[in-house]
Chain A
Amino acid sequence: MYNALVACRTGMGSSMLLKIKVEQVIKENGYPINVVHSNLDDLTSRKWDLVITMADIIEDIKDKVPYCVPIRNIMDKAEIKRGIEGFLEFRKNTSKEER
């Protein structure tokens, strides 16, 4: 199970909807991901496997987390799905290298 943080600046409206959409995508596809919704203050409060947030925030946070999924249209499930699959692919490859 991976831990994902869905966040925006205040952790209110936009990331709330993003979280709802991300959970829909995860449920439909059965991805092994646990979602927590908060604001960016929780970025360093625990260890996240990935952070899903709006594309314009990525610049500020990309160095602080192992993997980011930037989303342009928060209601676009296809875009969210592509982003999460990119993460799962990345994890598969890195775990191979470690072996």
Chain B
Amino acid sequence: MKVIISLLSNAGILIGLISMVGLILQKKSADDVFKGTAKTVIGFMIFNIGSAALGASLGNFNTLFQKGFHITGVVTQVEAATALAQNKFGTIVALVMIIGFVANLLFARFTPFKNIFLTGQHSLYFACVLTLVLKACEVNNTATIIIGGIVLGLSAASLPNLAQPYMRKITGSDDIAMGHYNLIGYALSGWIGSKVGSPEHNMENFKFPKWLSLFRDFLLSIAIVMIVLFYIAAIAAGQEVTQKIAGTTNWIVFPLLQGLQFAAGMQVLITGVRMFIAEITAAFVAISEKYIPKSRPAVDCPAVFPFAPTAVILGFLSSYAGGLVAMLFMILFKSSVIMIPSASIAFFSGGTAGVFGNSTGGWKGCIAGSFVVGILLVALPMMLYPPFVKLGIVGASFPNVDYNVIGTVLYRIILLIKPIIH
């Protein structure tokens, strides 16, 4: 019995078991089942290694920033925040995610919300946010897993509907939904687009310099931005402080290495996530296609990029500008916490917001919609950051719009009803 409990309290083994069930349900051969299960567990372990590496590098950045500016600089990088949550609540997060998958299938089967949310990494990140929200309200583990899982499944099945009118405009069909948790933001961007312009304002005349395509490379954009941020923090903190943290490394070289180290940790984390969600996603697709009539796959945001590639770049630039403006306001109002916009989030989330704005308002809609979403990506995390700090999640936050809107609503509701129950 002790052996079984010890085995099952390992999040990787749990996730592996789920993927094994998925593989068996798909009637895969025995060696495929074994291979898929083992790879899922190993993937989860790689994810943990990446989380630890990313957490260490982030810790150095936070120390330098704090010493240099006497305020907290928070990286709005979802993977970094996930790493911190994973190091603290790994098993609960995994269970919330698993219940979330099952709840999504049930909601899609028995309610009018027919979306199957296939972006596995977003299910993971959202599971982290929900776990942290519930833990911040001091909800016990069992209730956290059940409430978190149900909210996750309901969000997965229903939220994509918000953006669907615009998805039909963008893709020209109703076959796919947007599976990326900025759906409130994307719908807002589409709506703003319809107010400020028209689809005839097309952007064929926009030409962007070639070096901007650097930011299409996920890893490189993170490395570049983090190196710059590390240098800013290190120079502000000064030679003495930086040298102390750098140890035997020269203090001028240290920020460069740390920026690259951050990107390396990120790549390890992502490789792990890719490995452990692969089999589960495949099972998810197979089960929904077979047992849930009229279900609609909600897919990751780059799925709409081919329909308006120029809007992606314009949306990226505009949303990053929006993020910088939001950060500037935090500095002007002397906030004790500064949210730093992330280039990779601006590319994927801001770029997608640009595609939505463009679908209703051409280039004007693209710029306006993604600018507003860019502000939200940096401003909204302020709402949940204080409760998360109490749990020890310091220096990184979850930028995505839906995480913060749904998370804050849930946080307020639980705080409200908790005294009544007790």
Contacts and interface: CB of A to CB of B under 8 A. Distances in A.
A42 B277 CA distance: 19
Contacts of B278: 16, 37
Contacts of A76: 175
Contact of B299 (A10, A13, A37, A55): A13
Contacts of B307: 72
A21 B278 CA distance: 13
A56 B216 CA distance: 11
A42 to B, nearest CB: 11
Given A20-B281, A70-B306, A13 B213 contact: no
B312 A13 contact: no
A40 interface: yes
Interface string A58-99: 001000000000111111100000000000000000000000
A66 B41 CA distance: 35
A9 interface: yes
A41 B281 contact: no
Given A17-B300, A75-B297, A10 B277 contact: no
A52 B154 CA distance: 33
Interface stretch (B9-17, B114-122, B183-191): B114-122
Q: Which has the most chain A C-beta neighbours within 10 Å: B277, B297, B300?
A: B300
A20 to B, nearest CB: 5
**Which secondary structure characterizes the binding site on chain A?**
mixed
A72 B306 contact: yes
Contact of B175 (A12, A37, A73): A73
A22 to B, nearest CB: 12
Interface string B98-136: 000000000000000000001111100000000000000
Contact of A14 (B171, B273, B277, B302): B302
A55 B306 CA distance: 5
A40 B217 contact: yes
A76 B307 CA distance: 14
Contact of B306 (A10, A11, A37, A56): A56
A9 B218 contact: yes
A54 interface: yes
In which size bucket is the chain B interface? 35 or more
A8 interface: yes
A17 B175 contact: no
A14 B303 contact: yes
B299 A17 contact: yes
B228 to A, nearest CB: 21
A21 to B, nearest CB: 8
A9 B222 CA distance: 13
A73 B305 CA distance: 10
B277 A56 contact: no
B217 A56 contact: no
Contacts of A11: 270, 274
Contacts of B213: 60
Interface in B255-284: 270, 273-274, 277-278, 281-282
Contacts of B302: 8-9, 13-14, 54, 56
A59 to B, nearest CB: 8
Contacts of B121: 12-13
B36 interface: no
A8 to B, nearest CB: 6
Contacts of A72: 306-307
B179 interface: yes
A23 to B, nearest CB: 8
A9 B180 CA distance: 16
B176 interface: yes
B270 A74 contact: no
Contacts of A54: 302-303, 305-306
Nearest to A24: B285
B309 interface: yes
Contacts of B282: 20
B386 to A, nearest CB: 30
A13 B309 contact: no
Given A54-B303, A56-B305, 16 more contacts: A9-B302, A11-B270, A12-B119, A12-B273, A13-B118, A13-B120, A13-B180, A16-B277, A16-B281, A17-B118, A17-B299, A17-B303, A41-B219, A56-B309, A72-B307, A75-B297
Those 6 A-B pairs whose CB atoms lie nearest each other, nearest first? A13-B300, A55-B306, A56-B309, A13-B119, A14-B300, A14-B302
6 contacts: A12-B119, A12-B121, A13-B121, A14-B300, A16-B277, A72-B306
